[in-house]
Structure 1
Amino acid sequence: MQRRSRGVNLGLLLLLSQIFHVGINNIPPVTLATLALNIWLFLNPVKPLYASCISVEKCYQQKDWQRLLLSPFHHADDWHLYFNMASMLWKGIKLERRVGSRWFAYLIATFSLLTGIVYLLLEFSLATFIDEPDFQRHCAVGFSGVLFALKVLNNHYCPGGFVNVLGFPVPNRYACWAELVAIHFFTPGTSFAGHLAGILVGLMYTQGPLKKIMETCTGVFSSSSGDPRPQYYFNNSGYSGYQDHYPRGRPGYYEEAPRNYDAYTGGLSEEEQLERALRASLWDRGNTRNSPPPYGFHLSPEEEMRRKRLHRFDGQ
């Protein structure tokens, strides 16, 4: 595992620039707290990377279970932090407004722990079935596993449509799998098992029993599809009101809280914003001519047209 650079952290500066460009008041509290925690631990790590990453050898064999809590919130370098937190910024804004801050905090905590556990199970299984002990020593660190779980959840709430992954149109429901393969082959050093663990945790929530178990453990949320109580939303001035779980009186209908992203995104989607940031970061590193973005995709023209129609109908 590489050591962090002690020079100027361009990735961190770019991340802070994006956060302030969006506006702190426009970021829901749990998302903002997650960003702040990751940035703080990057600048002031609890332990060095070799003492905070998770592996079967360190966690299971040596019983160092605190790594499960530390590893998601520590990053190898400033660009690792930037790519993860830029993705977290947009996923958090979407999902926290949809499920509510308390449930979103519960999701982050649960996904952070479970992705580590599933990662250990995957690495242990590989080491056992193919008789390759090196898998037990693979050490992973970073928030990307949690982000893959959130991506599965976001795709579950917004089915249909296509995204472009490396120039190929992929149905939204399969986007996570395509991105898993693309990142593995085109971004050396990433943890395939860590990303796969995130997808599996997301599927456990959307298709398996995890959501029911979480609802049962809280004793607050019902076993139905969501929390029927009002949920707060945000605009430029912070808390501005609330919306019912079923805004127009029928299950399955979801109306996003009023917001004006164009004021601070220039009309670009999350993916377009992230791709532009990736291009800018690669330009800073002098790699714009020969290095394609390691991670990026666009909304298709049909999906963009559908999004605009929805916004127009919502405004009527």
Structure 2
Amino acid sequence: MQRRQRINVGLMLLFSQIYQVGVRNIPPVTLATMAANIFLFLNPMKSLWEVCISVQEGYQRGDWQRLLLSPFHHADDWHLYFNMVSMLWKGTRLERKLGSVLFGCIIAAFSQLIGVMYIILEMLLAEILVEPMYRQQCAVGFSGVLFALKVLINHYYPGGSSNVMGFHVPNRYACWVELIAIHIVSPGSSFVGHLAGILVGLLYTQGPLKKILKMFAGSLSSDDHSPRPTHFNSSGYARYSSDQYQPNNMQQDYSRYTGGLNEEEQYERAVRNSLNDIGGPQNERRPYGFWIPPEEQLEQEEIRRRRLNRFNRQ
């Protein structure tokens, strides 16, 4: 896959944030997840059209490898940057709370289940609305998993409120408000992919998934099912802390990572930067998704060309 030759500013900023935090201060599963996303951005296994997940490509054509690959590929450096900065905050907080074994099981399960949920939702939309376009919409990116992790954070750290586009929203409703807000700020983002993430998160907090993953994590480790969180300091040694990670410190860290922007503002900046990179109307590709016109308005070959060049980003 050929990428546009330019400086990957988003990637440079991501490395800068990791350096400021310190690699040894990032828990192992969070660090490994970020490393996998960065590696596959720099060395993609296939083109984005060959890894994105959709009803047509995944279910109808049986290319289930896309379930594995789609969450870990990103469209450009800004897409990668904002997803990984969010992962740095959410992953560090949850891994210290739950322990690395359980958190690793959560990441592995969520990354696959969200693709399955995405296909189910798109199939339902196609049937209910009698619109075959939903079978063809292809999604790529890690933010479905991030929405699921946000549900977990609100579950394990209840109370408080979030600032969503200037409005204070109770944390238990924040993921739903952000689902709509992000789609307003970035209309081409994968609304269904983000919704799939929330639903998978609810399967964990309100359904049977938590029990299943805890049992599986327990079989992988001889430790207690609720391991004491570990904090890694800059010297490389580990020390144990209390079960309740200090939320005020974490919020300060997150503000440092993101320049004080909340998630909606980050997406807005990513869209603006991507539009600047694309360079105006001579290139029709929308940076955070695509729209396929009605088939009767285009010849089949034109439709295929557009599908190959456009995709939804999670």
Q: Do the aligned residues in 2 keep the contact of 1:97 with 1:257 (CA within 8 Å)?
A: no
1:238 paired with 2:236, answer yes
Give the corresponding residue for 1:301.
none
- 160 and 128 in structure 1: CA distance in 2 versus 1, 3 angstrom threshold: same
1:255 maps to amino acid: Q
How do 1:38-77 residues align onto structure 2 when only pairs under 5 Å count? 38-77=37-76
Summarize deviations over 1:178-208 as a string: whole Å, max 9, x none: 1100000111321000000000011110111
Give the corresponding residue for 1:255.
244
Give the corresponding residue for 2:160.
161
- 259 and 159 in structure 1: CA distance in 2 versus 1, 3 angstrom threshold: closer
Summarize deviations over 1:76-97 as a string: whole Å, max 9, x none: 1111001100100111111111
2:244 maps to amino acid: E
Distance in 2 of aligned mates of 1:232 and 1:257:
13
Give the corresponding residue for 1:268.
252
Instruction: Structure 1: state its 5+ residue gaps.
Output: 248-253, 262-266, 288-316
2:252 maps to amino acid: L
Q: Which moved more, 1:269-278 or 1:183-192?
A: 269-278
Shift of 1:274: 1.7
Q: What percent identity do the matched residue pairs reach? A: 58
Give the corresponding residue for 1:207.
206
Q: Which moved more, 1:154-163 or 1:72-81?
A: 154-163
Other structure's SS at 1:42 match: helix
How do 1:4-15 residues align onto structure 2 when only pairs under 5 Å count? 4-15=3-14
Q: Do the aligned residues in 2 keep the contact of 1:5 with 1:77 (CA within 8 Å)?
A: no
Distance in 1 of aligned mates of 2:72 and 2:271:
24
Give the corresponding residue for 1:35.
34
Give the corresponding residue for 1:95.
94
Summarize deviations over 1:94-140 as a string: whole Å, max 9, x none: 11111111111111100000110000000010001111000000000
2:245 maps to amino acid: E
Distance in 2 of aligned mates of 1:181 and 1:108:
24
Other structure's SS at 2:140 match: coil
Distance in 1 of aligned mates of 2:158 and 2:54:
34
2:126 maps to amino acid: A
- 33 and 259 in structure 1: CA distance in 2 versus 1, 3 angstrom threshold: farther
- 200 and 209 in structure 1: CA distance in 2 versus 1, 3 angstrom threshold: same
Distance in 2 of aligned mates of 1:107 and 1:228:
14
Q: Number of paired residues?
A: 269
Distance in 1 of aligned mates of 2:231 and 2:249:
13
The higher-RCO structure (CA 8 Å, 6+ apart) is 2
Summarize deviations over 1:35-73 as a string: whole Å, max 9, x none: 111011000000100000000000011000000000000
Higher helix share: 2
Q: Which moved more, 1:96-105 or 1:63-72?
A: 96-105
Distance in 1 of aligned mates of 2:259 and 2:49:
31
